[in-house]
């Protein structure tokens, strides 16, 4: 296909949350990338506790430009092999005014930033380097009425305290700058909306749906989940609540998750087009096994499991679970069945019990106890059953949570590892590569494995002074094991996305992300009306 002169924006809107926006946007990213275009994803605002760590991108809206002379001063300091900017006058000139504070801010950015997992996977599908501009605003729910606000990859305390409807005016310039920079750097930008564009109670503060579509002059697809029922009403009602200028941006309706004979839909699509002037451009069959993590990381336990089950893995599903999408690769392993654990009965037959990440560790630990899961997990461990805690799950496995800063909360741990976690204001956000040491017990196959992942957590965890040492099995306090070897806690997210780990634990090949992305592109290529996808980025 011919290269476009300027970036075109294709936007995926949904009639509801869960309609299929994220995976369709991912499929479009790979489809356009396979045509030779330079592609980037974008979602102005995402609400999710599933986040990934990406390399920092220092744009003007993130870090102020360096003071005059700061760069040359820093160069001189580095030539003298000075690590920190606390330089004696006898060694190099004093830094220009403001240089130290500027450098400190820049170095804090160097730790990495957070974006929603959906945009991370969309970037990989687009064959692009994930970038904080692809999801400039991330809301991470901590309570039912409170979310931590992450702006351009970093926690923003002021925005976190600000009422919901007041944030829009503050962040809109940052959001549009991020989008405009991506448009300048790429041929195609695939934009994902959030929830529904017809949420009229939120329209005055909208920064993620039609306001973005109008800013980018995006060609929009409106997708609905037909499996829920009422799909035509959802599509028509959403269209009817849009302004005339907004309706003009919608180029097609997409019926997603259809089961049955597509001919039975008639005359519905034709009647809908007569009412709105917008065609149904695709009817996508139900496809649960596409291999991409769901937007919220929740897997569907109704999905049929192919073949015999050799290992049952119970994931404790507390209210503030986070980063569950990292288990999708484990779900794709033949012979492994994943189940949610919300009661003791759910782990009675499990081979492994996993305590995943948490956005509110002390609160989720209290919930776990209220359900009787603490006793069930302890009994499972006493029988020699394998237990794995990841990030917040690691913290729960220790003896105590200590919070003197009001970050998360105090509380006793499960006592399965001799560790104490002390919460600190600074959040650890970084990519990490490390190697497991000597591991015993059911996790022994991981001994010596070099793994890549990411850290997103508050708090430092260390040995309890009055308890046994346990086994530190990864440098830097990243992983601990009990003396028996069946309980393992790690701070590293992304363990099961590492092919070496999956091979060590299961000795089996699993679908790669590349094969998943190509499968998504093939799927929409087969089910969209011919010519629709390329037409979305053609000149009018």
Query: Which residues form the catalytic set?
Result: 391, 493
Q: 462 pairs with which residues across the strands? A: 420
Distances (CA, A) of 77 to 65, 92, 143, 456: 19, 7, 45, 32
CB-neighbour burial class of residue 141 (10 A; exposed 0-12, middle 13-18, buried 19+):
middle
Distance (Å, whole) CA 361 – CA 412? 11
Q: What is the 3-state secondary structure (H, E, C) of 29-50?
A: HHHHHHCCCCEEEECCEEECCC
What sign does the dihedral 120-353-459-482 (CA atoms) show?
negative
Is residue 152 a contact partner of residue 132, using CB atoms and an 8 Å limit? Answer: yes
Q: What is the DSSP letter of 227?
A: G
Q: Which residues contact 235 (CB under 8 A, 6 or more apart)?
A: 15, 222, 224, 253, 272, 276
Contact 30, 521 (CB under 8 A): yes
DSSP 94-123: PPPTTHHHHHHHHHHHHT-EEEEHHHHHHH
Q: Read off the DSSP letter of residue 64.
A: P
Residues contacting residue 328 through CB under 8 Å, at least 6 positions apart = 291, 292, 293, 294, 297, 299
Q: Give the SS3 label for residue 454.
A: strand
CA angle (499 as vertex; 496, 501 as ends), nearest 5: 55
Q: Do 70 and 96 form a contact (C-beta atoms < 8 A)?
A: yes
For CA atoms 511, 517, 495, 392, give the dihedral sign. negative
Distance between terminal CA atoms of the chain?
A: 17
Q: What is the dihedral of CA 168, 46, 478, 355, to 10 degrees?
A: 120
Q: How far apart are CA 409 and CA 366, in angstroms?
A: 10
């Amino acid at each position: 296909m011919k290269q476009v002169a300027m970036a075109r924006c294709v936007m995926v809107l949904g009639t509801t949350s869960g309609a299929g926006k994220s995976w369709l946007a991912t499929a479009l990213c790979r489809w356009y990338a396979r045509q030779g275009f330079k592609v980037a994803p974008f979602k102005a605002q995402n609400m999710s506790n599933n986040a990934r760590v990406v390399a920092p991108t220092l744009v003007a809206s993130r870090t102020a430009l360096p003071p005059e002379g700061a760069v040359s001063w820093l160069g001189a300091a580095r030539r003298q092999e000075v690590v920190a900017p606390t330089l004696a006058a006898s060694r190099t000139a004093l830094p220009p005014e403001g240089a130290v504070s500027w450098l400190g801010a820049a170095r804090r950015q160097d730790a990495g930033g957070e974006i929603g997992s959906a945009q991370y996977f969309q970037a990989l599908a687009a064959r692009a380097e994930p970038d904080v501009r692809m999801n400039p605003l991330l809301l991470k729910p901590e309570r039912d009425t409170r979310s931590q606000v992450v702006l351009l990859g970093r926690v923003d305390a002021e925005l976190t305290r600000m009422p919901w409807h007041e944030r829009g005016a503050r962040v809109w310039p940052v959001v549009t700058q991020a989008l405009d920079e991506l448009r300048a750097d790429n041929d195609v930008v695939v934009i994902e909306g959030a929830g529904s564009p017809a949420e009229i109670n939120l329209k005055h503060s909208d920064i993620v749906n039609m306001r973005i579509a109008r800013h980018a002059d995006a060609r929009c697809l409106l997708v609905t989940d037909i499996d829920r029922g009422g799909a035509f009403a959802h599509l028509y009602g959403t269209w009817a609540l849009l302004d005339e200028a907004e309706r003009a941006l919608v180029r097609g309706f997409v019926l997603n998750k259809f089961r049955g004979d597509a001919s039975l839909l008639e005359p519905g699509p034709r009647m809908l087009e007569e009412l709105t002037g917008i065609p149904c451009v695709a009817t996508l069959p139900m496809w649960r096994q596409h291999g991409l993590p769901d937007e919220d990381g929740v897997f569907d336990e109704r999905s049929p499991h192919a073949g015999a089950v050799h290992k049952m893995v119970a994931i404790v599903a507390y209210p503030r679970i986070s980063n569950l999408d990292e288990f999708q690769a484990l779900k794709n392993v033949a012979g492994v069945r994943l189940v949610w654990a919300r009661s003791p009965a759910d782990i009675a037959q499990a081979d492994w019990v996993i305590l995943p990440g948490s956005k509110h560790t002390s609160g989720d630990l209290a919930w776990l106890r209220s359900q009787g899961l603490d006793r069930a997990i302890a009994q499972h461990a006493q029988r020699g059953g394998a237990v794995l805690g990841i990030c917040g799950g690691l913290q729960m496995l220790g003896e105590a949570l200590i919070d003197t800063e009001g970050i998360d909360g105090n509380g006793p741990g499960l006592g399965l590892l001799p560790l104490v976690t002390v919460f600190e204001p600074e959040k650890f956000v970084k990519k990490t590569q490390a190697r497991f040491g000597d591991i015993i017990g059911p996790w022994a196959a991981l001994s010596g494995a070099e793994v890549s992942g990411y850290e997103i957590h508050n708090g430092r965890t260390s040995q309890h002074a009055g308890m046994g040492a346990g086994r530190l099995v990864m440098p830097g306090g990243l992983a601990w094991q009990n003396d028996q070897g069946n309980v393992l806690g790690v701070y590293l997210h992304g363990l099961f996305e590492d092919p070496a780990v999956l091979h060590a634990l299961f000795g089996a090949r699993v679908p790669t992300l590349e094969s998943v992305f190509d499968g998504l592109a093939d799927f929409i290529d087969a089910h969209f009306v011919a010519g629709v996808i390329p037409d979305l980025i053609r000149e009018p």
